[in-house]
Structure 1
C-alpha cells in the first residue's frame, strides 16, 4: 500500500500548475522577473521595463542601478520572437541615457544587436536595435566594433526600410561611421551611395534629406570614392538635386555638401568639369539668405581652383556676390566678402570686375562698424585689389587708410593679418603714408612688433618698411621704440625674418642719425643734411633720443652732441661773439657745427 501511494504522488507532481497571473508593481520586482524561465513572464517583464524606461531619464538610470542591463543584453537573443522584440525595445530606449550608454560600452553586446538588423526581424526590432546603435556609434571604440562586426551592410539595407524611424536611425549610424575614411570606402563598396542618393530624390522623406546630405558629403570628401560615384552618375544626380526647387534648408544643405566635396583639390577639378560654377551662380539669385550664404562659402572654396575663378567671372558671378554685400544679414555679408577675397587673390581680371561692380566702395564702408570676420574679409579683398594703381587710388580716395587704423588695435589675429597687409599695399603712395601718420596709425603699427604670431609680425614689418620711406614717419616710429624692438627680433632665431631685416634697413636708411649711432658708419649713398646729429655710439637695445628730446635734458659736459644746421651757422657764430656766450648753446643745449667743424672734432675725439 505504501509503494502504491508513492507512485500516485510522483504522478501528481508531473502535472503542471494552472497559469498564475503575475503582477510586478515595483521596478525591483520586474527586474527580478527578467531572470524567469517562463517566456510569458519574460514578455510581460520586458514590456513593463520598456514602459517604465520610456517615461524619463531618471527611470532609465534607476533601472540601471537595479541591474536590468545584464539580463536584457541576454534576452535580445532569446529564441522566443516576442521576448526578443520586447527586450530589444527595452534595451534601445534605455540606451538613450548617457549613463546606460557608458555601461553598455563595457559589455560585448554590439554583435548581438547587429544580428537584430537581419531582414528576418520585424520593423519594431529594427527600429530599437538601430536606436541603440545610434547612441553607441558616437563613441570611437563602438564605431570600430560596429564596423568590425560587419554592421554597415545591414544598415545600408535598412535605408530602404518602409519605416522612417528605421531610415533615420540607420542614417545617423552611417553618418557617425563615415567620419572614418575606411568606413567611407566600405559604404561605397557595399552599394550605399545609390540608396542615399535615392533618398534625396524622394519627396516623401524630405525630413531625412538633411541627414542624407551629411552622409553623402562625408562619402564624397574622399577623392577616390568621388571618382567611383561620378562614374555611376551619382555626382550629376547630386547637382540636379541642388538646382531642384526645394525647401531652403535642404537646398542650403545640398550646397554645403558641395562645399565639403570641394575641400580636396582633386575634387575641385572634377566639380569644375561638371560646371559646378554655373550651378552656384544660379543659386546666388535664390531669395533665401541661408542658400545665398552657403553658396558664397562654396564659391570661396571653389576659388582655390584657378580655372574656377575665371568661370565665376565669365558667368557673371562677381557682380552677384558684390550685390550681396548690401544685404542686412551680417552672416551673408561676411560670406560674400570672403568669397570676393578668394576670387580676387592673384587674379587681376577679377580685381577689376569687383571694381567695375562698385565692390571697393562697399568694402571700404564695411571697414567701419562691421563684425570682425566681415572686417577681416573686406580688408583682405581691398588689399588684393590695391595692387592695381587705378583701384588703389580710388580706394584711398574713399578714406580706407583712416578706417584701417582702429583695427590695428584689435586682438583678432586674422583681422590683424589682413589689415597690416592691406596697409602695406596702400601706403605705397606718399599721401597715404602721410594720412596714416596723421591718423595716429604708426604707434599701433609699431606695437604689433611685439606679436608672436608669425604672419602678423611679418606683415607689420612689411608695412613699417614701406612707411619708413618717409623720413618724418621713420623718425616717429623710432620714437615709439621700433628700432629697439626690431633689434631684439633680428637677434631671435625664431622671430627673425627677411621682413624684419627689411624693416630695420628701411628705418635706418631714413634716419641716418640713428644709423650712424648704431653702426658707426654711413654708406656713400647716405647724404647728410640739416638735422643730422651724432651722440656717439649707442648701446644695443638703447633707445636713440631725438635732437628735440636731448635738448630738454640737463647739459652733459662730458658728452658733446654734434648737430648739422647750416642754415643757422652764421646767426649762431654772431650771437656767440656778441654775447660772450658759454660753451654750451643754451637755446638747443647741443653744439651746432658745420660738417667741416664736425670732422675736426671727430679727429680730436679720436
Structure 2
C-alpha cells in the first residue's frame, strides 16, 4: 500500500498517477482497503490529484475519495485538508462522470456542519444552483439537490440562498419539474430546512405551500410521501397551517385511500400535525370525507400509520358533531387492534382516542360489548408513562357511570398500586 501511494507524488509522471489512483479506487471499494489507504496517508495526495490536468486521474481520485468518506474519520480529515475547493472545481469539468462523483462526495460530507460551512464560504451554493438552473445538466440535478438539501439545514445557508434568489429558483424548479426523483429530492430539501422556525418563516414568505400542494398531485408515490412529510414540517408554522385548510387537506385525504401504505402513513402524519390544536383544520379534514379512510387505517400493518390516524380522529373528536359522526362508525370495534398492539406509541394514541370518544353511554356500552375494556385495563400495567397516563384518562371517562365502573373493578383496576400510575 505504501508503495502504491508513493506513486501519487508530484514527481511521478501523469500516466503513473493514472494507474496508481485507479488501483486505489478499486482497493477502496472494500472496507479493509479504505482503512489501509487512510492509515497509510493516502487521502492527502488523492486530494492534491483532484487538480491534475488529466481527467482520468481526477476521476480515479474523486472516486477513491468518495469511497473513503463513507467513514466518519475520513470526513473529519478531509475538512482539515481543505478538500472542498478542489471538489467544487470538479463541478466545472466537461466530463459528467467527474461532476457526478464530485456531487456524490459532497452529498456525503455535507452531512457534517463544518463541511457545509466550508462549501458556503467557497461559493459552492452558487455552483449548485447554477447546475439545477441548467437544463443540459439534468443528469446531475438529483445529486445537486441532495447536496442543497443538506446545506439548507443551516440558517446561515438558508438566508444566503434566499438573499441571492436561489431559494425562489429552487421552489420553481421543484414545482415545474416532471422528473419524480427531482421532485422528491426537492421536497426532502424543504423538509430538512423546515425543521427550523426561521426557515419555515422564509419558506412561507415564498409561498412554498403552493409548491407542496402541487407535488401532492404527482404520479410518483415517492414524491407524494416527500411532499406530505414537508407539509408535516411546515405545519409548525401557524400561517402555513391556515393555508393548508383549503389547499392541501383535501388532497391529503385523497392520499389516505392510496394502495401504498407508506403514502397513507405520510398523509396521515401531515393531517395529524395540521389538525392538532386546530379545530378548523380538523373540521376541514372531516368535510373532505376523511373519517372513513382514517378509521380504515386503524387496521393498517404500519404502526406509524395507525398512530397518525388515531391522532387525527382524536383531534376531530374534540368537536361534538364530529365526535358523534366518528362514534356512528363503530369506532370502538376499530380500536380493538390498536389497543392490543405491542407498540407503546400505538397503545398510547388508541387509549387517548378512547378517552376522546367514550363520552356517552352508547359509546361506552359499545366499547364494553366489543371487548375493549380488557385491553384498556391491561394498558394500566404498561411500563410506559404516557401509555399509563392515557389509559388512566380513558378509564376515568368510562367509569363515569355505575355499570361501567363495576365492570372495570371486576377487571382489576382497583388492585393496581397507585405508585404505578
Q: Provide TM-score, normalisation by structure 1.
A: 0.67
Q: 1:471 is matched with which residue? A: 402
Distance 1:121 1:408 in 2: 66
Q: How many positions carry a matched residue from both structures?
A: 420
* 1:144 to 2:100 alignment: no
Q: How does 1:240-319 map to 2 (within 5 A)?
A: 240-314=172-246, 316-319=247-250
Encode CA deviations 1:104-143: one digit per residue, 9 max, x unaligned: 121122221111112x521111101101111111111111
Distance 1:100 1:296 in 2: 41
Cα offset for 1:277? Answer: 0.6
Q: How does 1:26-425 map to 2 (within 5 A)?
A: 69-77=1-9, 78-118=11-51, 120-314=52-246, 316-369=247-300, 371-425=302-356
Q: Contact 2:34/2:67 (CA < 8 Å) preserved in 1?
A: yes
Q: 1:49 is matched with which residue? A: none
Cα offset for 1:215? Answer: 1.0
Distance 2:362 2:338 in 1: 20
Cα offset for 1:287? Answer: 2.8
Structure 1 segments of 4+ aligned residues over 6 angstroms from their partners: none
Alignment partner of 1:448: what SS? Answer: helix
Q: 1:452 is matched with which residue? A: 383
Distance 2:324 2:388 in 1: 26
Encode CA deviations 1:533-575: one digit per residue, 9 max, x unaligned: xxxxxxxxxxxxxxxxxxxxxxxxxxxxxxxxxxxxxxxxxxx
Cα offset for 1:462? Answer: 1.0
Structure 2: gaps of 5 or more residues = none
Distance 2:128 2:417 in 1: 59
Cα offset for 1:370? Answer: 5.3
Encode CA deviations 1:171-195: one digit per residue, 9 max, x unaligned: 1221221111111111110111111
Q: CA RMSD in A?
A: 1.6
Q: Contact 2:225/2:266 (CA < 8 Å) preserved in 1?
A: yes
Q: 1:173 to 1:369 in 2, by over 3 A?
A: closer
Greater RCO, 1 or 2 (C-alpha within 8 Å, sep 6+): 2
Cα offset for 1:397? Answer: 0.6
Distance 2:142 2:384 in 1: 39
Alignment partner of 1:116: what SS? Answer: helix
Distance 1:84 1:378 in 2: 59
Cα offset for 1:204? Answer: 3.4
Cα offset for 1:381? Answer: 0.5
Structure 1: gaps of 5 or more residues = 1-68, 490-499, 501-606
Cα offset for 1:433? Answer: 1.3
Q: 1:278 to 1:430 in 2, by over 3 A?
A: same
Candidates 335, 342, 363, aligned match of 1:432: 363
Q: Contact 2:183/2:215 (CA < 8 Å) preserved in 1?
A: no
Q: Contact 2:253/2:285 (CA < 8 Å) preserved in 1?
A: yes
Candidates 443, 446, 456, aligned match of 2:374: 443
Q: Which has the higher helix share?
A: 2
Cα offset for 1:325? Answer: 1.6
Q: 2:416 is matched with which residue? A: 485
Q: Contact 2:79/2:114 (CA < 8 Å) preserved in 1?
A: no
Q: Contact 1:127/1:165 (CA < 8 Å) preserved in 2?
A: yes
Cα offset for 1:227? Answer: 0.7
Encode CA deviations 1:483-512: one digit per residue, 9 max, x unaligned: 2224241xxxxxxxxxx4xxxxxxxxxxxx
Distance 2:87 2:175 in 1: 29
Q: 1:29 is matched with which residue? A: none
Q: Contact 1:449/1:486 (CA < 8 Å) preserved in 2?
A: no
Q: 1:359 to 1:132 in 2, by over 3 A?
A: same
Q: Provide TM-score, normalisation by structure 2.
A: 0.96
Alignment partner of 1:117: what SS? Answer: helix
Q: Contact 2:373/2:408 (CA < 8 Å) preserved in 1?
A: yes
Cα offset for 1:384? Answer: 0.5
Q: How does 1:591-606 map to 2 (within 5 A)?
A: none
